[in-house]
A and B are shown apart, each in its own frame.
Chain A
Amino acid sequence: MAEDLVLDTAIRDWVLIPLSVVMVLIGVLRYFVSKLMRSSQLPDAKALKEGQVIIRARNLKSGANFIPSKSFRARRVYFTNEENGLLHVPKEQAQNAQAQMFSDPNMAMDMMKKNLSMLIPQSLTFAWVNFFFSGFVAAKIPFPLTQRFRAMLQNGIDLSSVDVSYVSSRSW
């Protein structure tokens, strides 16, 4: 059947709008929950110092023409000399940024918390929608799609003859 199916307006009122509203609300809720769960981190002295060193080194680079060459050289040595230069990182110690992210316990905890706060609401929503709104056609997509999308978009509908443009509510 390639004819157009007429969709009941009741579908539109009771499915599309509540679903959209619920999506938005869950996004808002997720934001607030993440704000609550975020632990306030005291600024780490080492990280602070590194940030400031970088600012100072950048100033040195950009303003190098304005100071006498002797003082520029002295400062450059201060930053880059082999024994205790501030910006000098011996080869063995240069760590991969990602390895450091995992080894730092605080950051790892933060990442995990964030991931969890995304996962749980998503799975809950999915289950709820599945329960309430399965088995009927919800909307028609304005542009044509190929047959492959059928499995993805028409999950509750078991008729193979319906045009793929009609999607079920779960996909929405």
Chain B
Amino acid sequence: MVGAAEEAQLNRLENQVDNGGGGAWEYLCLVRKLKARRPDKVLKHGLSILNNPKARSNLGTEEWTLYEQVAIAAMDCQRVDIAKDCISVLSNKFPGSTRVGRLEGMLLEANGAWADAETTYRRLLEENPNDQVVQKRMIAMAKALGNISTAVEYLNKYLEIYMADQDAWRELAEIYVSLQMYKQAAYCYEELILCQPTVPLHHLAYAEVLYTMGGLENLQMAKKYYASAINFTGGKNTRALYGLCLCSVAINQITKGRNKEDKESPELQYLAAEALVKDYKEKAPAKLTLVTSTLKSMKLIS
């Protein structure tokens, strides 16, 4: 995930290059390092470097990395012809390489020749059974074709070996949520929280899954996780604030008839409601009346 400072730098470089200043190569390097996905810009600036023989020879050995980057960007922009040219140049230079083979597989995918792409990937996997990127491509292909269950199966097999790969856990969590398998999704989000406990997004997503699952215990946990998300973002995350309010309302509904001793202190939800109202006053005063009426009906503000 790209941090805020890095994103600012990326945008600044992008503006600089777009407006005719130099620095296209630094921009491309930064995009590659951060794994950001900006195919149109990469394609435009990458091609401008590659088509200029002097600039190309300045790059030296980095030229081939640039070819790879431009090929992938071209495939993203559906410019399959450009991609094909780049890949043919690369395969002439590095025949029989796994990396180029992977690009060829991606080209076949872009053309829609799924069966051929699959045979290419399987062949690459036979030579190199532990190749992470090719395995991920197979998973992506299964997902693109709509074989979600195959994708899940492959992803599980991948995670059995590479269990420290956070992106894979995140992908699996999203797939499970889309399949409404919330318990498994909760497990994946727990895994993510373990890897990076201070990233509020994971807490938020976990809280949402718990809230969706329902049930008193899950709701109480969801409330805690919404609270921790608010804690990590300094109260600025509107979604977490809403989540907290809704959780409290749901919990109150379930525990209506029960013992008063079990009830948690209601301060948290009042605070959240207040914070919401303040937020809307600052940022979207037009919607303030809507928010206040909703919160009043939830009995969170007087």
Contacts and interface: CB of A to CB of B under 8 A. Distances in A.
A71 B187 CA distance: 8
Contacts of A67: 190, 193-194
A51 to B, nearest CB: 8
A162 B187 CA distance: 80
B195 A63 contact: yes
A52 B163 contact: yes
B4 interface: no
Interface in A32-64: 42-43, 45, 48-49, 52-53, 55-56, 59-60, 62-64
B164 A48 contact: no
A49 B195 contact: no
Contacts of A53: 163
Contact of B194 (A43, A45, A49, A59): A59
A42 B164 contact: no
Given A68-B221, A71-B187, A45 B193 contact: no
A71 B130 contact: no
A64 B164 CA distance: 16
B163 A63 contact: no
A91 to B, nearest CB: 25
A56 B193 CA distance: 12
Contacts of A66: 193-194, 197, 228
Given A48-B130, A52-B161, A59 B195 contact: yes
B210 to A, nearest CB: 9
A67 B130 CA distance: 31
B162 interface: yes
Interface in A10-26: none
Instruction: Please tell me the size bucket of the interface on A.
Output: 10 to 19
Nearest to B187: A71
A71 B190 contact: yes
Nearest to A66: B197
Interface in B176-197: 187, 190-191, 193-195, 197
Contacts of B163: 49, 52-53, 55-56
A60 B161 CA distance: 17
Nearest to B160: A49
A129 B32 CA distance: 53
A61 B187 CA distance: 16
Interface string B208-247: 0000000000000100000010000000000000000000
A52 B162 contact: yes
Contacts of A63: 193-195, 197
Contacts of A43: 130
A124 B185 CA distance: 65
A52 B195 CA distance: 12
A60 B129 contact: no
B101 to A, nearest CB: 16
B161 A49 contact: yes
Contact of B129 (A45, A62, A64): A45
Given A49-B161, A56-B163, A59-B195, A42 B130 contact: yes
Nearest to A65: B197
A65 to B, nearest CB: 8
Interface of B: 128-130, 160-165, 187, 190-191, 193-195, 197, 221, 228
18 contacts: A42-B130, A45-B129, A45-B161, A49-B160, A49-B161, A52-B161, A52-B162, A52-B163, A53-B163, A56-B164, A59-B164, A59-B195, A62-B194, A62-B197, A63-B194, A66-B194, A66-B197, A68-B190
Given A45-B130, A49-B160, 14 more contacts: A42-B128, A45-B161, A49-B161, A49-B163, A52-B161, A52-B164, A53-B163, A55-B164, A62-B194, A63-B193, A63-B195, A65-B197, A66-B194, A67-B194
Interface of A: 42-43, 45, 48-49, 52-53, 55-56, 59-60, 62-68, 71
Of all A-B residue pairs in the complex, the 3 with the closest CB atoms, nearest first, are A63-B194, A55-B164, A66-B197
